[in-house]
Structure 1
Amino acid sequence: MTALDHLTQEQLWDARAAATYDTPGTGMEAPEVLGPTVDRLAELAENGRALELAVGTGRVAIPLARRRIEVSGIEISRPMIDRLREKASPEELPVTQGDIARTRVPGEFSLVYLVFNTIGNLLTQDAQVECFRNAAAHLRPGGRFVIELWVPQLQQMAPGLPAIIGAVEDGYILVDTLDITTQRLVSHHFTFGEGRSATVGRTPHRYVWPSELDLMARLAGFEPESRHADWQGTPFTSASTSHVSVYRKAADGR
């Protein structure tokens, strides 16, 4: 057990994380990233209500709501909700504070979605299964649950070394340490400033294989509908490093 095991999600996603989470025009919010995401989700919603699990600061939910889709959110972090509120009112985007594996929102939805690898923030298989069941409980019969997730790249891990270098960029290095027995991964983010100054951030995750995700979906009453390598519909292959998977709740509601 590490020091990170004692941190709650509320502590990890604190005011400091919320203040630096948004990256307008770049990274997750670059037009070529955000545009196709919102386009595809709007299509899958089929003019019905949408629910974002782990809505964060509203990166996806706000532009989706401005497509005249009725969007609600669930978010565990109060600072993230406060940051969202600087951009969208409760009337435009209602948010319920709580755990995405258990928190319920009133009403029935056509679409529930969970993007940018966030199911990995749930650190046990049981919690991830409960997240699927919670998504199913919110959906109308025939409704869809969409997950965006990375594919574990364990083949990059050198024999005998428990870490993978995820990125080396100007002023930034990412190192992931892994425990393959628990499928636990800790991302270590090193950001370098002027001179010798540097900051370190760490976030824990539980990685999930695509086939394991499919089994979780089946346990929750979903049927697989599609899987692509990205939001634009690129075919998913053995070389893909991420996927967008769409599951559909049985039409009879079971």
Structure 2
Amino acid sequence: MFTDADAAALYDLLNPWDPEQWPGDGFYDRLVAAAPSVLDVGCGTGSMLCRAREAGHRGRLAGIDPNRAALARARRRPDIEWAEGTAADVGRYAEFDLVTMASHAFQCLVTDDEVRASLAAIRTALRPGGRFAFETRHPQARAWEEWHPSQASDVTDASGRTLRVQHATESVVGDVVTVAETTTEPDGTVLRVERTRLRFLDVPALDAFLTETGFEIEARYGDWEGGPVTGTSREIITVARRT
């Protein structure tokens, strides 16, 4: 047996939010701490916002995600607003100072229509002058070539069960990559296979979508230390402002 709840708990084990260890987590932690109100789109199990509250954030914090099992874990923290939905649904919110899409969640917006609808809704959720912070993997780094079963991760869950998680790229069609995440027991017994489609936009395409939907680029980085985007950058980290 391997349930959606098991998968959500496993995600937290494999991806703990730790700004001391991971520079990307630290980047978002600083932005969230400085913003009076924050909406995290694709919040998953809510680790980023929960840490902000634990660190003393007293403003409005809200998270939205389509994964019910992940939200069930997030809702263990009742002093944060949690909602089920996608980026295109956030237009019902209003006047946040900061909207975030961390952990490459933006790449789950695959079609042009999804990107436009999501950016328009995020703009609506921001107060005038509010900021939208997110990152995507730079296509020039070809990260999908590194997603191979040989790079499997083993982890022991809360019940003491050892699990193995591996990723494999199944297809690359234009700028859309399909990757399969397979969870197995150590003997190879398959417990779960989850496929995800990810879009790899380059800087010109990304900026065209942002400009079209009413954003201007406030800051752009190629790494989590604040360096510029270069010919070897693995990330496109963007802070855009609602115009």
Q: TM-score interval w.r.t. the shorter chain? A: 0.7 to 0.9
- For the pair 1:166 / 2:161, whether they are aligned, the reply is no
Partner of 2:126: 139
TM-score by length of 1: 0.77
Partner of 2:100: 113
- For the pair 1:48 / 2:36, whether they are aligned, the reply is yes
Alpha-carbon spacing, 1:35–1:103, altered in 2? closer, same or farther (3 Å): closer
Partner of 2:26: 36
Alpha-carbon spacing, 1:154–1:228, altered in 2? closer, same or farther (3 Å): closer
Q: Distance in 2 between matches of 1:59 and 1:192?
A: 25
Q: Distance in 2 between matches of 1:186 and 1:28?
A: 24
Q: Of the candidates 68, 72, 84, which is equivalent to residue 74 of structure 2?
A: 84
Partner of 1:4: none
Unaligned runs of 5+ in 1: 1-12, 157-162
Q: Identity rate of aligned residues, in percent? A: 26
Partner of 2:115: 128
Q: Distance in 2 between matches of 1:19 and 1:147?
A: 24
8 Å Cα contact 2:223-2:233 kept in structure 1: no
The CA deviation at 1:197 is 3.3
8 Å Cα contact 2:183-2:190 kept in structure 1: yes
8 Å Cα contact 1:81-1:95 kept in structure 2: yes
8 Å Cα contact 2:221-2:237 kept in structure 1: yes
Q: Distance in 1 between matches of 2:137 and 2:236?
A: 6
Deviation per residue, 1:66-101 (Å, 9 max, x gap): 341421112222221111112x11xx2101222211
Partner of 2:161: none
The alignment yields a C-alpha RMSD, in angstroms, of: 2.6
Q: Of the candidates 53, 61, 70, which is equivalent to residue 71 of structure 1?
A: 61
Q: Distance in 2 between matches of 1:196 and 1:176?
A: 19
Alpha-carbon spacing, 1:28–1:37, altered in 2? closer, same or farther (3 Å): farther
The CA deviation at 1:28 is 4.8
Q: Which amino acid aligns with 2:114?
A: A
Unaligned runs of 5+ in 2: 154-164
Alpha-carbon spacing, 1:82–1:129, altered in 2? closer, same or farther (3 Å): same
Q: Distance in 2 between matches of 1:28 and 1:229?
A: 23
Q: Of the candidates 194, 197, 202, which is equivalent to residue 189 of structure 2?
A: 197
8 Å Cα contact 1:228-1:243 kept in structure 2: yes
